[in-house]
Structure 1
Amino acid sequence: MTVYVETAPHEFTANYLFNERGLFPFFAADRRVKRGDGSAMGTFTHDGEEWQARLSYQESGLQHPGDTTPQGTRFDIETVREYRLNVSSLDDSVGQRKFNVHLAPRWPGMESKNGKGIPIPEGFDEGINLRVSGANIEFKQYLLLIRRAFGAVDIQPEYFADPHPYSNVQDAERYVRLNQEVSGPVHARDGPIARLGHLLEDDRSGYRKVVQNDQNGRGETHPGYYHTVTLGQDRIQEALPSHELPKEIKHYYAREAKSFSKEDLLSHPKLGASYQVNRWDGKLGVSPEELEQLSHELDETVLSTLANSNLDLRPGGNTYVSDAYFSASESDREREIVEFNTAQIEQTQESVVIKHLADGLSPIEWESLEMLVSDGGNVSPNDIADQYDRHPDSVRRALNRIDDLVNRSYDEVSLQSSYVAELVHDTVRQARDATRRATEAAAKAVEAAETGLDKRTTAFITWAASHGMNVTERGDELELRLGEVTGEDHRKEVRRILREGFKLWKQANRDPAVYRAGEYRYQYREKEHHLRSIESDMVTRRVTGRVWETLG
């Protein structure tokens, strides 16, 4: 079996729900805090490690249910409170191996003090929710530590034996700490985080986000400071086909890392993979099997990222730096190392460029892309407007129509990726060639006019140009590209334009049947209202139709 480095657990957040004993655990916490004049302390030992637990209370935003809950349970507590159990390792010199438990009651029909209903899982009845947040503890150990910690403050551990199936994980991360001298390939512009970020240039479905920030909190340049790629369920399966859980992969330094010496552990970055609960419609519970799946997928994601950076996956050497929680030791887990399919990623990027070419680009869109290719960096919409004597609002609308080709932030625009830039560069070059050919064709048209081309044909050509229309003839096939149509009734406007063209076409002694059988394309903008919201966005619609259907 190949030996890989063992990743370390980092952050973890989960909701542990219990209902087998109803509200008994909540009442027990209330009695224990009152008996201890507001708090209770205790210690316990687990696997030779000593831990401390402290129970306290906090004010609650829950509405008092009265003498009984809606389910008929007597509620003799005068003031509704919620409880905190803070648990930390006494053997941890750094002080970051710890977790916090927030204990809150749950019953059907419960409300907040401002009258808002508190959602309770259907069929849950009465019970409690433990919101657990911790770090540097193996995920499977939390439940046992919770039970031992409550026992240490004299609350029955049996209350917390069997989590309800509605229990769920909210956040989890595993990581390795890399030597700063070797971590460059991870966050490089052609490294795995950037290459996975290229999945952003696929179609508009699914969630994907990439961040490449090389400035620390002081505004200093620090390469690799915070580079992440977040992929929803569909996107993560493109990179790791056997995985199910949405994740974020991140290479990051501590805020003050640049000011530390190389001998300081915090001067070296972490490479982590974290579960992203908000990026899918599924649920991950807290059963041993589900927590094993969580560790397994996060492990493989970290290791595959290392492998795709051509870094050594085995402990030893100078690749890894041990810290208080990551020991850079050998793992006994079986893991599958996946080569990210960048060829497929490139194909999806190509599809975006091809899509825009197929749908047609307006003159302003061409100009924007041309400047972005020529500039090679970030420019503003105002820069593009000034360069081509356009109104800035027209440029912004054009950029909105090609927003899957460009990145926009803080009034700056750049192409989505270096690969997209290469594709767009080729396209712009071809467009320039097409313009040159069109100019040559126009010169020949003038020459032809001087030698007998009649004014009626020239009138049709002028009409098409006045509407920004591209007219393409292939034998008896005619295509009319109208660009963007404005006005309150875009269909009526298109019908008017096509009728004008039909009249000029016939005046030029062209075959009416060819025009009527032609195809036209155009686009228009309209407001799209969101469900359950008064907000709306302007969206671009594209229309394709046959001339005869519109003319009647």
Structure 2
Amino acid sequence: MPALIQPAPHEFAANYLITEDGLAPFFAADRRVKEGDGSQVASFVSEGERWVVKLYYQGSGIVHPGDQLPGGTDWRLGEMREFRLTIARHSDEDPVGEQDFNAHLAPRWQGMEVRRSDGRVTEYSVPPQVEEGVNVRVQGSNIEFSRYLPLLQRAADAVGIRGRYFDAPHKHSNIQDAERYVRVHWKDSGPIHARDGPIASMGHLLESDRAGYRKIVQNDDDEQGRNVPGYYHTVTLGTRRIREAFPTHQLPKEVKHYYAREAATKSEKGPLAHPKLGVSYQVSRWDETLGATQTDIEQLETELDQTLLSVLAESGLDIAPSQDDGPYVRDAYFGATLSDNGPEPVALDLTTIKSTQESVVIKYLADGLTDVQFETLETLVTDGGIVSTGDIASQNDRHVGSVRRALRDLEELVEWKYGQVSLRSDYIAELVHQAVEEARDAFRRVVDTSATAVEAAQRGLDETMSVFVAWAARHDVDVNDVLNSREARMRLRFGRADRETRRAIREGFRIWTDANLPPERYRMARVQFGDGSVSQAWRYLDPG
């Protein structure tokens, strides 16, 4: 595998629960703040880099425990405080000033109480395995994820707190936020945020639009109302949806194409005129937690980087540029460097998902719908949400039993649970809506295409032929010629000879061979374009 573009770390947040020395780190922070009349400032060197650190205190909403904690530890502090360390790269080495993090130290003990903003006092939940300890919440940016804990240790030593206190965080430590990114030249980033690009496609095509979590944002105007194409485009996928595109992944994520707020006023020569493509961990989108061990960090980085590289590759961007920086733009923290240690991109196969869903719709509509089935689908696309079987029956003056029988025969198009019905995906909904709107014409069209698929099945061809038929219908392949004549040369017709056409021809070849059809017949197909020019399919199958 060639060396690939290496994403850079952006945001990161984690809770490190420190328990081996009980409250010793907290008491040490209190002592050092008092010795420094409210703060301590120091500097240190890590991996040849200069860093500065400041230790200071803040007020606390924790209720004073009295003279002694429930576990027997004496509490000799009259005022409740919490402590912070700001840790930043020296300004001589970081002129942008955005490579830093803050570490918030707060005590923890069983039975600890906190006073809420409304005055109520409630017990704070502390893991039962922890009698006493310190929680350190770190939050920063532009630092490799695995460096936060070592930097915290060096910073603590520098201000007079033993760094070894933070050697072994408790297993309940967890990562709360993380993002990795690349910066792409604005002239090259269009395919990422295009209407049919990977960000939109992942949101519209994956799994059921009524199950799991999916959020799509497509905003092309900045806060001042200036048009900046691709200004803020994101798709957020919960764990159920992320596995549709990345079967080995576990973490929910957001894929985001975005510009800096001031991008419209910046010169193209500077990095802020160009967008970032970032992938971030979304802790709120699942019920589990991601630990903070080195193994957890490696899993996190692998999943984020693999998602990012896959989106770049799906967009047609070079992920292994051999000349200069390719489509990437360097900034203070993203160096556009290549690495051969990262994960390989995954083929998103969004076209396959789309083709499969098209073939499902074609199959059902071509087989012919009963009146009840048609009315049921019409109600679903008109309503645009989850509908009960009773609602469908009432709106169409049908018996609810008839609706249920109709739904049983539409299981690949609809989800039906606990009496609630919805279409299986947003894309299926679009296809069905189109069929309903076009009525007889749409039915006649898909019946013709499906009749060929049925004929293919009768000839004993692999069932994946239905996926090829859907692909062929979308790209105007003469399907009857493909199936009915073994000798005639296959024809593929496309509008333009561009990158998207090359991708479609390759996709068709893969589907064709998956259907156990002779590869040489496809390779020798005649490709005709809208301007009248003609070529051969094999010319477009070379990955170079």
TM-score range, shorter chain: 0.5 to 0.7
What residue in structure 1 maps to residue 72 of structure 2?
72
Candidates 319, 329, 342, aligned match of 1:321: 329
Counterparts of 1:24 and 1:277, CA distance in 2: 30
Counterparts of 1:335 and 1:329, CA distance in 2: 15
Aligned residue-pair number: 391
**1:116 partner SS:** strand
Counterparts of 1:203 and 1:275, CA distance in 2: 21
Counterparts of 1:189 and 1:290, CA distance in 2: 34
Counterparts of 1:180 and 1:170, CA distance in 2: 30
Counterparts of 1:39 and 1:334, CA distance in 2: 41
> Are the equivalent residues in 1 in contact too, given 2:266–2:272 (CA < 8 A)?
yes
Counterparts of 1:346 and 1:209, CA distance in 2: 22
Gaps of 5+ in 2: 385-412, 415-424, 444-544
User: Does residue 169 of structure 1 match 2:171?
Assistant: no
Give the superposition deviation at 1:54.
0.2
**1:258 partner SS:** helix
Residues 417 and 270 (structure 1), Cα distance of their counterparts in 2 relative to 1, 3 Å cut? same
Residues 169 and 189 (structure 1), Cα distance of their counterparts in 2 relative to 1, 3 Å cut? same
Write the deviation string for residues 151-206 of structure 1: whole angstroms up to 9, x where unpaired. 11101111111010000000000000000010000000111101101146615221
What residue in structure 2 maps to residue 103 of structure 1?
105
What residue in structure 1 maps to residue 144 of structure 2?
138
- 1:1-16 aligned within 5 A: 1-16=1-16
Greater shift in the superposed pair: 300-309 or 196-205 = 196-205
Query: Which one-letter code corresponds to 1:100 in the other structure?
Result: N
Counterparts of 1:87 and 1:96, CA distance in 2: 11
**2:113 partner SS:** coil
Counterparts of 1:89 and 1:159, CA distance in 2: 23
Q: Superposition RMSD on alpha carbons, in Å?
A: 2.7
Residues 179 and 72 (structure 1), Cα distance of their counterparts in 2 relative to 1, 3 Å cut? same
Query: Which one-letter code corresponds to 1:17 in the other structure?
Result: L
Counterparts of 1:190 and 1:296, CA distance in 2: 26
- 1:122-521 aligned within 5 A: 122-199=128-205, 202=208, 204-315=210-321, 316-342=324-350, 343-345=352-354, 347=356, 361=375, 365=379, 368=382, 420-430=429-439
Counterparts of 1:204 and 1:292, CA distance in 2: 32
Residues 239 and 35 (structure 1), Cα distance of their counterparts in 2 relative to 1, 3 Å cut? same
What residue in structure 2 maps to residue 112 of structure 1?
114
Counterparts of 1:12 and 1:363, CA distance in 2: 45
Query: Which one-letter code corresponds to 2:344 in the other structure?
Result: E
Query: Which one-letter code corresponds to 2:263 in the other structure?
Result: A
Give the superposition deviation at 1:34.
0.9
**1:112 partner SS:** strand
Give the superposition deviation at 1:423.
3.7
Query: Which one-letter code corresponds to 1:108 in the other structure?
Result: Q
Runs of 4+ in 1 over 6 A off after TM superposition: 349-358, 416-419, 431-434
Gaps of 5+ in 1: 373-403, 406-415, 435-552
Give the superposition deviation at 1:3.
1.0
Counterparts of 2:109 and 2:358, CA distance in 1: 50
What residue in structure 2 maps to residue 380 of structure 1?
none
What residue in structure 2 maps to residue 396 of structure 1?
none
Counterparts of 1:123 and 1:164, CA distance in 2: 10
Counterparts of 2:427 and 2:250, CA distance in 1: 29
Residues 363 and 174 (structure 1), Cα distance of their counterparts in 2 relative to 1, 3 Å cut? closer
Write the deviation string for residues 507-541 of structure 1: whole angstroms up to 9, x where unpaired. xxxxxxxxxxxxxxxxxxxxxxxxxxxxxxxxxxx
**1:144 partner SS:** helix
Residues 11 and 112 (structure 1), Cα distance of their counterparts in 2 relative to 1, 3 Å cut? same
Counterparts of 1:288 and 1:107, CA distance in 2: 26
Counterparts of 2:381 and 2:83, CA distance in 1: 61
Give the superposition deviation at 1:292.
0.8
Give the superposition deviation at 1:332.
3.0
What residue in structure 2 maps to residue 29 of structure 1?
29
> Are the equivalent residues in 1 in contact too, given 2:206–2:241 (CA < 8 A)?
no
Query: Which one-letter code corresponds to 1:149 in the other structure?
Result: A
Residues 299 and 78 (structure 1), Cα distance of their counterparts in 2 relative to 1, 3 Å cut? same
Counterparts of 2:4 and 2:276, CA distance in 1: 17
User: Does residue 56 of structure 1 match 2:56?
Assistant: yes
**2:102 partner SS:** strand
Counterparts of 2:89 and 2:381, CA distance in 1: 62
Counterparts of 2:381 and 2:151, CA distance in 1: 62
Query: Which one-letter code corresponds to 1:31 in the other structure?
Result: R
> Are the equivalent residues in 2 in contact too, given 1:213–1:227 (CA < 8 A)?
yes
Query: Which one-letter code corresponds to 2:129 in the other structure?
Result: G
Give the superposition deviation at 1:299.
0.8
**1:281 partner SS:** coil
> Are the equivalent residues in 2 in contact too, given 1:185–1:191 (CA < 8 A)?
yes
Query: Which one-letter code corresponds to 1:425 in the other structure?
Result: Q
Q: Which TM-score applies when normalising by structure 1?
A: 0.67
Write the deviation string for residues 316-342 of structure 1: whole angstroms up to 9, x where unpaired. 344000000000011131412111122
What residue in structure 2 maps to residue 83 of structure 1?
83
Give the superposition deviation at 1:245.
1.0
**1:248 partner SS:** strand
Counterparts of 1:267 and 1:17, CA distance in 2: 40
Counterparts of 1:349 and 1:56, CA distance in 2: 61
Write the deviation string for residues 456-482 of structure 1: whole angstroms up to 9, x where unpaired. xxxxxxxxxxxxxxxxxxxxxxxxxxx
Write the deviation string for residues 283-328 of structure 1: whole angstroms up to 9, x where unpaired. 2111111101111111111100000001000243440000000000
Write the deviation string for residues 390-418 of structure 1: whole angstroms up to 9, x where unpaired. xxxxxxxxxxxxxx99xxxxxxxxxx967
Query: Which one-letter code corresponds to 1:9 in the other structure?
Result: P
Q: Which TM-score applies when normalising by structure 2?
A: 0.68
Residues 154 and 107 (structure 1), Cα distance of their counterparts in 2 relative to 1, 3 Å cut? same
Rg: which structure is higher?
1
Query: Which one-letter code corresponds to 1:106 in the other structure?
Result: R
Query: Which one-letter code corresponds to 2:307 in the other structure?
Result: T
> Are the equivalent residues in 2 in contact too, given 1:51–1:88 (CA < 8 A)?
yes
Query: Which one-letter code corresponds to 2:154 in the other structure?
Result: R
**2:216 partner SS:** strand
Residues 425 and 262 (structure 1), Cα distance of their counterparts in 2 relative to 1, 3 Å cut? same
> Are the equivalent residues in 2 in contact too, given 1:346–1:419 (CA < 8 A)?
no
